[in-house]
Amino acid sequence: MLNDIEIAQQAEMKNIKEVAAKLDIKEDDIEMYGKYKAKLSDELIASVQKNENGKLILVTAINPTPAGEGKTTITVGLGEAMGRLNKKAVIALREPSLGPCFGIKGGAAGGGYAQVVPMEELNLHFTGDFHAITSANNLLAAMMDNHIHQGNALGIDVNRIVFKRCMDMNDRALRHTVIGLGKRVDGVPREDGFVITVASEIMAILCLAADFNDLKEKLGRIIVAYNYQNEPVTAKDLKAVGAMAALLKDAIKPNMIQTLEHTPALVHGGPFANIAHGCNSVIATKTALKLADYVITEAGFGADLGAEKFFDIKCRMNGLKPDAVVLVATVKALKYNGGVPKTELGQENLEALKKGIVNLEKHIENLQKYQVPVVVTLNRFITDTDAELAFVEKFCKDRNCDFALANVWEKGGEGGIELANAVLNTLENKKSDFKVLYKDELSIKEKISCIATEIYGAANVTYSPEADRAIAKIEEMGFGNFPVCMAKTQYSLSDDTFGQASLSAYKLGTAIKISEELLNDSVFDLPSYIAKEFARRIGAKEEEAFFVGDGKGKPTGIFNATGGAEDGTSTTGASITFDDVMELFYSLRSPYRKKAVWVLNDSTVKALRKLKDNTGNYIWSPSVQAGVPDTILNRPYKTSSYVPEIKAGNKCMAFGDFSYYWVADRQGRSFKRLNELFAMTGQVGFLASQRLDGKLILPEAIKTLTIKKA
């Protein structure tokens, strides 16, 4: 079977002029970027404004899981299916960021036979939009620092600068930096940092701007810092707007490419709905509505993120009214939410499906709050059984949702016909009475509370003192009537594994044999000795089980391949390098690094004590203060002889928050004297036992380093 790249490379693309002609766009109305990419001209956008709007269809999904959902793939396949049904359709997608490794994660091309092409160019530089956004952002940062260097006429408080530089790359080393070091001409030293381009304010402005003039207005209102009077300093105050707009004059124009079946695709702006608003640009979406009868667009991550922001931010600010929502799920992802390990998702498991489908149920509930009709589609896998598919279909129809299977990855548009017909049926028979979740006039805290409780499922919201002050300042400046855009983990509705975790009771035991003479004649405190020895032995068994237990007759250990910690990184060889340690460190998401601990074997300690970073300093930080532990990369460590050694095939290190490894003590240690068992040998036996279990309830909270076999 061909992979995505091979399928894309074998595709026969049409000249983009032919693709544009499907939307009645003439060659003079597009600006060519080679044969297969183009930008829509300002003249075209202006000329179609009097056209009637087509139907707006949003594609969203349940929360992301390692099993995959396929939101973009469904979007592309649905557009292709509409074309096969002779419908005038266009898809409106987000551009992918370079940041998460060249489209491997976060790519926006779709997959299989439901892709947009040229895929490689889309996932790399494309038409340069993101580079232009990066340049405009950093121009503003440079002008601000130059203003401070040249005398700071605006009185900018260097301790209250809120605007950061950006780059289209997830470079962790640049998140927090110090700039201006060196000679006087090198600027004023201060703390700074980089954000990823797609989470920058410039990206949001480009995506939400109605036109070029609106773009300039929004650029001018960017707050870069506060002065010594606690007043905001804007890009307009710095006279940066004209230069920034010049850099963005081409980037604001929507890009057109094609699907494998030559359906037009407007790909422009906006990924990452977990940290930004995560939608296709307003200009692209509104232009698409004027060009086609059906516009299929998408929003990032799960519906609790992308769809909420699409409705409450994008639609609210630009008068868009969606006609239907397609909610994407997979049987595998639902079973994963039901507690099934990734390795077992191919097996039928209706019980797990029943547990995990509550994730889908919550998203249906959320979407219906906006009074937009919902179509649920299952991105089908060959391992899905008829019983599982029938269960999900009934579940959806019982909740007033149309339902359809999709097999677009394998069959392209043909595999999306059932879904396309379901969408058309919904559009024809169910009216959308779209409304936003909250009103503009609510306070910021009321809006936050509304989203958190209604969409995220939170009980309440608590605020740090810093957040309280920031909100008060925002409202004081007159921005309280704006919609709220919150950064949030994309897993919040799917990583509540606490309620799903079940702990068993395994018996661990050990015995000690003592001669009757020693028992009777001992001059020291033998019972105390026996108790301590039992504690040591049982403790060792616990430690062994919690690290390497196989779950059969004992708890499942952290280093077990199934049910244990997730793979963080791997290496080949008999030694560990500095890069290996760094890779393991950063494989763990930042929320779990705050309380993370290293766990390793004593022999691994020796190897790590010799490692140096790229500046020649040892990564092992020995403590010189009594009671303060040594650290590795500023995080504490623990050693155990039960952690596997550096050996081919072993997981030899773990790094993570071990509070997510739950231990259940079903019974305290019990001691029993066995008078008869060893009587023939003149000995007395003592038996100690304990019933307990241990389970890693959130595998992603701990990461391991594996030594690969050569």
Which of 119, 52, 69, 378 shows the shortest CA–CA distance to 265? 119
Cβ burial of 640 (10 Å; 0-12, 13-18, 19+) is middle
Count Cα neighbours of 38 within 13 Å in the Cβ-side half-sphere: 25
How many C-beta neighbours within 10 Å does residue 340 have? 21
Based on its alpha-carbon atoms, the radius of gyration of the chain, rounded to whole angstroms, reads: 30
Question: Is residue 73 annotated as a catalytic residue, yes or no?
Answer: yes
Active-site residue, from 26, 105, 439, 469:
105
State CA 410 to chain mean position distance. Answer: 26
Question: Is residue 510 annotated as a catalytic residue, yes or no?
Answer: no
Question: Is residue 501 annotated as a catalytic residue, yes or no?
Answer: no
Phi (first) and psi of residue 519, to 5 degrees: -65, -40
H or E element in which residue 154 lies: none
Phi (first) and psi of residue 312, to 5 degrees: -80, -20
Question: Is residue 105 annotated as a catalytic residue, yes or no?
Answer: yes
Active-site residue, from 71, 218, 309, 380:
71
> DSSP label at 313?
I
Question: Is residue 301 annotated as a catalytic residue, yes or no?
Answer: yes
Active-site residue, from 301, 546, 547, 658:
301
CA 205, CA 223: separation in Å to the nearest integer? 13
CA 216, CA 212: separation in Å to the nearest integer? 6
SS3 of 443-496: CHHHHHHHHHHHHHCCCCCCCCHHHHHHHHHHHHCCCCCCCCCCCCCCCCCCCC
CA 506, CA 656: separation in Å to the nearest integer? 25
How many C-beta neighbours within 10 Å does residue 609 have? 13
One-letter amino acid of 379: N
The three-state secondary structure class of 701 is: helix
> DSSP label at 636?
E
Residue pair 81/91 in contact by the 8 Å Cβ criterion: no
Residue pair 329/336 in contact by the 8 Å Cβ criterion: no
Q: How far is the CA of 229 from the CAs of 151, 157, 225, in angstroms? A: 17, 9, 11
Beta partners for residue 674, in sequence order: 685
Active-site residue, from 72, 73, 75, 263:
73
Active-site residue, from 409, 547, 585, 686:
409
Question: Is residue 435 annotated as a catalytic residue, yes or no?
Answer: no
Residue pair 69/409 in contact by the 8 Å Cβ criterion: no
Active-site residue, from 108, 273, 545, 688:
273
Question: Is residue 332 annotated as a catalytic residue, yes or no?
Answer: no
Active-site residue, from 130, 163, 272, 381:
381
Which residues belong to the active site? Answer: 71, 73, 94, 105, 273, 301, 381, 409
